[in-house]
């Protein structure tokens, strides 16, 4: 018997304490914990660094369309933009502008 699976194919519950028997939640078969003794148990975690997230965000900003619009903060004449429908359908869309130089954001309700 594989200590992770019941003979019916269901995954056996991982014991949170030290029971002497594992009970399958599907077929209610009982398996002794001795089968799992001295088995290596491990898990894999995916860790996402905030820097990677920020880099992807910056990359997506660079892929947005660019328009000639003057930044209120630094005076740069080019901004990228993206549009979202944040209000009801009968109203205009919301346009988010981001300065390519200083990353300052402007929101316009069209």
CB of 78 closer than 8 Å to CB of 94: no
Which CATH number describes the domain made up of 63-109?
2.20.25.10
pLDDT value at position 8? 87
Q: What is the pLDDT of residues 25-40, one digit of tens each?
A: 889 888 777 655 566 6
Which residue ranges are tagged as binding site?
6, 8, 24, 27, 71, 74, 99, 102
Q: What is the pLDDT of residues 48-103, one digit of tens each?
A: 655 555 555 555 555 788 899 999 999 999 999 888 887 777 788 889 999 999 99
Taking the mean position of all CA atoms in its chain, how far away is CA 84?
21
Cβ count within 10 A of residue 34: 10
Q: Of 6 and 45, which is predicted with more confidence?
A: 6
Name the band, by pLDDT with cuts 50, 70 and 90, for residue 41: low
Which residue ranges are tagged as binding site for Zn(2+)?
6, 8, 24, 27, 71, 74, 99, 102
Q: Domain-by-domain residue ranges, the chain?
A: 63-109
């Amino acid at each position: 018997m594989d200590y992770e699976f019941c003979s019916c194919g269901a995954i056996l519950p991982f014991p949170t304490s030290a029971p002497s028997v594992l009970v399958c939640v599907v077929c209610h078969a009982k398996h002794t914990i001795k089968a799992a003794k001295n088995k290596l148990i491990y898990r894999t975690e995916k860790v996402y660094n905030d820097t990677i997230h920020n880099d992807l965000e910056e990359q997506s900003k660079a892929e947005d369309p660019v328009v000639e619009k003057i930044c209120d903060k630094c005076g740069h004449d080019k901004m990228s933009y993206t549009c979202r429908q944040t209000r009801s359908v009968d109203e205009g869309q919301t346009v988010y502008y981001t300065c390519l130089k200083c990353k300052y954001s402007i929101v316009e309700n069209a």
